[in-house]
Amino acid sequence: MSDSASKDGASTADGAATGKKTVRRRQRAGSSLFAVGEPMVWLTGGALVICAAMVAGLLALVFWKGGVTFWPVPVIRVETPVLEGGSQVFMGEVTRVDTFRPDQGVIDALPPAIGRQAEPQLRDRDGEAGRRLFRTGNFRLTQNHFRWVSDFEIADESRPEWAMVIERLEWGRFYGFPEAFLELSPVADGDPARAREIASGLSASAGQEIQLLDRRFEDGAERDVLIPLSKLDSAHNVQAVALVSSGPEAAWDQLGEHHDAVRERWQERRDLEKFDTGKVSHKQEQTRLAVRDIELELSNIEKRRGVDSKAYATAEIELDEARTHFDEVETWAHAEFDRIRVDIDNINQQNAKFQLMMRTAGEGTIASETTLVPLDQIVRAYPANRLSMGAKVGIYLARWSEFLIDEPREANAEGGVFPAIFGTVAMTLIMSILVVPFGVLAALYLREYAKGGPLVSAVRIAVNNLAGVPSIVFGVFGLGFFCYVTGATIDQLFFAANLPNPTYGKGGLLWASFTLALLTLPVVIVATEEAVSAVPSSMREGSYACGASKWQTIQRIVLPRATPGIITGLILAIARGAGEVAPLMLVGAVKLAPELPIDTVFPFIHPERSFMHLGFHIYDVGFQSQNSEAAKPMVYTTTLLLITIIASLNLATIWLRNRLRKKYAAGQF
């Protein structure tokens, strides 16, 4: 009999002797639901789906809101009765549709007819009412940009055929009806005899007539009105004799015929004011600074006159020559300014001849009034309710073109953002050029040369902690160190003649790039360390076996194969640095920078200048704009543009990384 059988027999006997039943316990392998793995697959997959949905939702919102900003919409005219028995008129573009729950006090304040009309609407919708936000424009006349109009307030609604939208350089949009197109011949001092003489020399073409533009004081304001030539004797103050094309269609045709030429002359005037005047002013400033430099040198020599009297005499001669040259430049500059002013005045006189007479819808009352809109102030005009699909697409593309290549206007609420695009791209590229060499060198030392120990560990901890420091702290450091210390020292050494006006001792593109380079430096260091450590040791050993030194191994073996990882760090740095705003507000980004950091004047590149940034532009338009409602669509559009620029920079670096990865893939083993 085996030992196991004898043990079983013994245990049975023991059980019988004690009178108890023996139960054998069987060990079952313990198992957990998470040990199977499938729940974790669902959990991680679900987290990924949620993250992807959040990102996709954000991008969809930005693309939708930003993409439809420039699409032209119809102009709607509504009338709302008032308690006195009249009605108010509002005309404009609907920018937002909303629902709200009006208080009973609002309903009680309505005219009886509207109140009776509102009650069943509110009852059917469980006390809720719809409302629309109208962009009414005409701010100079109404002192109001927008107006909420509830659906139950509207007594009449229409889309006038000739309702026109005019986008102007100043005072925002204008909504009205074209009444006439005027080609003016000014009358000096309102002289009637001169008006008759001018009128006799004019010949009206088909569809035109000769009238007088008379200025009158009515209802507490000056108004320009057209009167027939036969009523010259009853005129108050004749401003001009006008060739008038009356009627909406004739006015629209004449506007299309003359507007392009007027805008070309306006651009020519702008170039004279910006570039020609700027060049003359720059030459004046350079000669003034040359005199100031010699004066400072003479002052320094004078302090030690007994030591170097010959240098003092030479400096006096140079100072006399510089002052003579300065006087010559001043004479030339005044002559140039006079010439430029004459050219500008001629352009202004030519453009002032063309005016568009518009009639408002009578915002606030049934009565309306006429006003003259100079053609050189019109950026774009179109009859919103007569547009075909092709015309709408043309306006949409023209607005996008303006947005991408023009300067902002109307406190950044309209116009373009080209200076902000240029500033964002330039700052990001300079930051990338600065951060990569320093980050790579620091990572190489930590990984390849430094010996492990408390000091190296402390440095690594400090680098990792820097990645978590709030960005505004870097902005404060940049303002204090780069602007007030480094920049002020540079001004004292090289730009003393400009003081007390600082050159580098203030915020600018260069200091903003340095600040963001410090901000993103930990990202590049960590990524480079990981990439360097991932290079196989066998490659290093093979290089050493061939007689290469440590630096030759790093240069020819380690760095080329670590480059894709280094570029990954650069991609992360670009993604973080390009979207930062807080530090830039302290070290160079401004609301409006009319001068770009690059121009046609020597030395052509001016990194000390302030600049515009798309991130700061979004903040300014969304939260600092006087007309925040008009600026809201621009917030989404600018955000869309910023995302596109950052994505483009990242895609370019990703393409470069993939090229390098393929190049060195064959060398991995």
pLDDT of residue 437: 92
pLDDT at residue 511, rounded to an integer: 95
DSSP letter, residue 438: H
Percent residues over pLDDT 70 in the chain: 91
Which residue, among 479, 461, 491, 542, has the nearest Cα to 515 in the 3D structure?
479
Higher pLDDT, 37 or 254: 254
Residue 424: its pLDDT value, please?
Answer: 93
Q: Are 558 and 483 in contact (CB under 8 A)?
A: no
Residue 216 has phi, psi (to 5 degrees) of -130, 155
Strand partners, 370: 359
Note the pLDDT tens digit of each residue in 402-419: 999 998 887 777 888 999
Per-residue confidence band for 197, with pLDDT thresholds at 50, 70 and 90:
confident
Q: Do 241 and 199 contact (CB within 8 A), yes or no?
A: yes
Q: Which residue has the tokens 């978590």?
A: 468
Is the per-residue pLDDT at 374 higher than 90? yes
pTM, full prediction: 0.84
Q: Please give the share of the chain, as a percent, with pLDDT higher than 90.
A: 38
Confidence of residue 420 (pLDDT cuts 50, 70, 90): very high
**Which of 218-227, 294-303, 385-394, 612-621 ranks highest by mean pLDDT?**
385-394
| pLDDT for 42 beyond 50 | yes
Q: Is the pLDDT assigned to residue 341 strictly greater than 80?
A: yes
| Two structure tokens written together for 573 | 């740095």
Which phi-psi region, left, alpha or beta, contains residue 189 (left: φ > 0; alpha: ψ -120 to 50)? left
Confidence of residue 83 (pLDDT cuts 50, 70, 90): low
Domain boundaries, the chain: 75-159, 419-665
Which CATH number describes the domain made up of 419-665?
A: 1.10.3720.10
Q: What DSSP state is assigned to residue 573?
A: H
Element (H, E) at 180: strand 173-186
Q: Give the mean model confidence (pLDDT) for residues 565-583.
A: 89
Per-position DSSP letters for 519-543, written without gaps between them: HHHHHHHHHHHHHHHTS-HHHHHHH
pLDDT band at 250 (very low <50, low <70, confident <90, very high): very high
CA 443 from chain centre, in angstroms, equals 36
| Angle at 29 (CA atoms; ends 26, 32), nearest 5 degrees | 140
Distance of CA 241 to the CA centre of its chain: 44
Residues 6 or more apart from 393 whose CB is under 8 A from it? none
Lowest average pLDDT, out of 432-441, 568-577, 660-669, goes to 660-669
**Do the bridges between strand 164-168 and strand 378-383 make them parallel or antiparallel, or are there none, so unpaired?**
antiparallel
Under 8 Å CB-to-CB from 13, ≥6 apart: which residues?
none
pLDDT above 50 for 612: yes
Kindly tell me the burial class for residue 462, based on how many C-beta atoms sit within 10 Å of its own C-beta (0-12, 13-18, 19 or more).
exposed
